[in-house]
Amino acid sequence: MNDIPLFPLHTVLFPGGRLPLRIFEQRYMDMAKACLRERTPFGVCLIREGREVGTPAIPADIGTLARIVAWDMPQLGVLQVTALGEQRFRILERRVQADGLARASIEITGVDQDSAIPESCAGCVKLLERVIEQQAGLFEPPHRLDSASWVSSRLAELLPLPLQAKQELLELDSARIRIERLSGLLRPPTGAPGER
């Protein structure tokens, strides 16, 4: 894909994830309007250097395509959109327009190598089931609780991990490795009180 607009953010979007955005900068308003009009995606990348507003930020090389699925303008000059994560991509070449909007040539990276949930990671599924019971609206159906890719992506979005750790999880091609890493983070450390 040759000319995708980029939206660098202090967040990591995973395929299948939901991203609510409040847009007020003119460059991103124009981008969102064009994406809605032309039914095209934009790229969401974690900011490596810089800020979300003002001077164009430097994005991570790997991000996720996002497509706007709902929008509203509750007040003049503020656009609220909900975007859904699609495929992961790698930036091949990046340029910045005069208005500060970054655009890129990208290649789609491989789809997650999905797998069943390893037995050792059953705690991840139980945790996500509890969250879904309490906040089902956070997740787009279907809830694929038998998929290591879906479960690991949703947990990586939800858990209060450092952004760099989330980015590293996004960049993994193997869903099994991703869920095993998350499962390791959720286990109490060896020798924790109450363990023998």
pLDDT surpassing 50 at residue 196: no
The verdict on 9 and 30 lying in the same domain is: yes
Looking at residue 180, its pLDDT comes to 96
Q: What's the pLDDT tens digit per position in 38-81? A: 999 999 999 999 888 778 889 999 999 999 999 999 888 899 99
Q: Check: CB of residue 46 under 8 Å from CB of residue 60.
A: yes
CATH code of 145's domain: 1.10.4060.10
In a domain, 191, yes or no: no
pLDDT score for 175: 93
Instruction: CATH number of the domain at 103, please.
Output: 2.30.130.40
Is residue 8 scored above 50 in pLDDT? yes
| Confidence (pLDDT) at 91 | 97
Q: What predicted TM-score, i.e. pTM, was given to this entire model?
A: 0.89
Give per-residue pLDDT as tens, 124-183: 999 999 999 999 888 888 899 999 999 999 999 999 999 999 999 999 999 999 999 999
Pair 152, 182 in one domain = yes
Answer yes or no: is 162 within a domain: yes
Q: Is residue 65 part of a domain?
A: yes
83 in the same domain as 23: yes
Q: Phi and psi for 58 in degrees, rounded to 5?
A: -95, 120
9 and 91, same domain (yes or no):
yes
Do 11 and 46 touch, CB atoms closer than 8 A?
yes
- The residue type at 143: H
d(CA 38, CA 35): 5
- Domain end position, chosen among 108, 138, 155: 108
CA distances from residue 167 to 3, 10, 76, 157, 164 in whole angstroms, order as listed: 23, 11, 34, 10, 5
Residue 193: inside a domain, yes or no?
A: no
In the chain, the number of structural domains is 2
Q: Kindly state whether residue 192 falls inside one of the protein's structural domains.
A: no
Domain that holds residue 79: 4-108
The residue type at 22: R
- Of 70-74, 102-106, 108-112, 186-190, give the lowest mean pLDDT range: 186-190
Residue 195 lies in a domain: no
Q: Which amino acid is at 5?
A: P
Interval 114-129: pLDDT, tens: 889 999 999 999 999 9
